[in-house]
């Protein structure tokens, strides 16, 4: 018996790379997978290997989420959502980013997570709880200047997950972000792949990311940004605490998360 016997999982971007490896991993644990992808033939191919249901959909299109849920309902509902579909712009120079590139990456990488979470939460509640995992990136934590638009969207995913998580706890829903370094998938284009190979920089296997996704699904941690790096266990990133306001008695009057650091002031420079 697998750990996910009888569970239904939606995986977006499930036709390729991390999504395909995760569909395989969840399926190997007994889950029935709804493979969602803009590439309908790719989704169909995954389903012919794994069983489950294929849905050709654009995760950035809000109307497509009704169709995705309609595909899951005959299976019994949704227990797991791996919101993973994503794209890059490949553009380093902000002055060259076109409106289309900007709108597309925001739609897939941000709207896809927001619309997806909003759509699946009531479904998970109806099943007594469940797990959402959203694919961010290491670029969701570090300032990756090679693609600022990508970095923007992946930071958005981390902030969204961390801030949505607390209210979902009482509904027995976990939500975590997965933040891999460079993974060996078609997203890494030939030129980058060649230059990485040239300096002997190894890529992470998508199966290793899938293992971390499974860890999030099975675990009780929530609101975490799980960093996945080559040769390491997935680890929750520990965010630093920004300075809080300093005023007499302020501690009791503002939310504790605003009071990150009320320690003593740094000494003023002499003179």
Ligand X SMILES: NC(=O)c1ccc[n+]([C@@H]2O[C@H](COP(=O)([O-])OP(=O)(O)OC[C@H]3O[C@@H](n4cnc5c(N)ncnc54)[C@H](O)[C@@H]3O)[C@@H](O)[C@H]2O)c1
**Which residues have a catalytic role annotated?**
150
Pair 188, 139: CB distance under 8 Å: no
Pair 60, 115: CB distance under 8 Å: yes
Nearest by Cα to 12 from 115, 146, 122: 115
User: Among 117-125, 161-169, 181-189, 212-220, which window interacts with ligand X (CB under 6 A)?
Assistant: 181-189
Q: Which is nearer to ligand X, 197 or 247 (CB)?
A: 197
Per-residue contact string for residues 17-46; x = within reach of ligand X by CB under 6 A: xxx-----------------xxx--x----
At residue 85, what are phi and psi to the nearest 5 degrees?
-55, 135
Pair 35, 43: CB distance under 8 Å: yes
Q: Which is nearer to ligand X, 50 or 87 (CB)?
A: 87
**Which position among 32, 89, 135, 176 is part of the footprint of ligand X (CB under 6 A)?**
135
**Which position among 182, 214, 217, 226 is part of the footprint of ligand X (CB under 6 A)?**
182
β-pair partners for 228 = 180
Binding of residue 187 to ligand X (CB under 6 A):
yes
Binding of residue 186 to ligand X (CB under 6 A):
yes
What sign results for the dihedral spanned by CA atoms 230, 232, 237, 238? negative
User: Among 175-183, 236-244, 245-253, 254-262, which window interacts with ligand X (CB under 6 A)?
Assistant: 175-183
Q: How far is CA 30 from CA 3, 49, 146, 173, 219, in A?
A: 7, 14, 39, 20, 17
Binding of residue 229 to ligand X (CB under 6 A):
no
Give contact residues for ligand X (rule: CB under 6 A): 12-13, 15-19, 37-39, 42, 57-60, 84-87, 108, 135, 137, 180, 182-183, 185-188
């Amino acid at each position: 018996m697998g750990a996910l016997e009888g569970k239904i999982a939606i995986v977006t971007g499930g036709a390729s790379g991390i999504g395909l490896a995760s569909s395989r991993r969840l399926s190997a644990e007994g889950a029935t997978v709804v493979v969602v992808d803009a590439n309908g033939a790719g989704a169909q191919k995954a389903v012919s290997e794994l069983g489950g249901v294929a849905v050709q959909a654009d995760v950035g299109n809000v109307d497509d989420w009704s169709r995705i849920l309609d595909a899951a309902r005959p299976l019994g509902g949704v227990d797991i959502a791996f919101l993973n579909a994503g794209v890059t712009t490949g553009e380093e120079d902000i002055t060259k980013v076109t409106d289309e590139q900007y709108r597309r990456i925001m739609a897939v990488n941000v709207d896809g997570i927001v619309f997806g979470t909003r759509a699946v939460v009531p479904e998970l509640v109806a099943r007594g709880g469940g797990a959402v995992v959203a694919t961010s990136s290491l670029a969701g934590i570090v300032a990756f200047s090679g693609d600022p638009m990508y970095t923007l969207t992946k930071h958005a995913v981390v902030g969204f997950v961390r801030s949505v998580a607390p209210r979902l706890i009482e509904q027995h829903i976990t939500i975590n972000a997965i933040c891999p370094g460079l993974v060996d998938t078609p997203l890494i284009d030939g030129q980058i792949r060649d230059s990485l190979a040239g300096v002997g920089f190894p890529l992470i296997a998508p199966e290793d990311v899938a293992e971390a996704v499974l860890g999030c699904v099975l675990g009780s941690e929530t609101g975490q940004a799980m960093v996945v790096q080559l040769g390491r266990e997935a680890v929750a990133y520990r965010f630093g605490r920004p300075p809080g306001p300093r005023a007499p008695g302020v501690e009791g009057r503002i939310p504790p998360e605003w009071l990150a650091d009320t320690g003593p002031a740094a000494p003023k420079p002499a003179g």
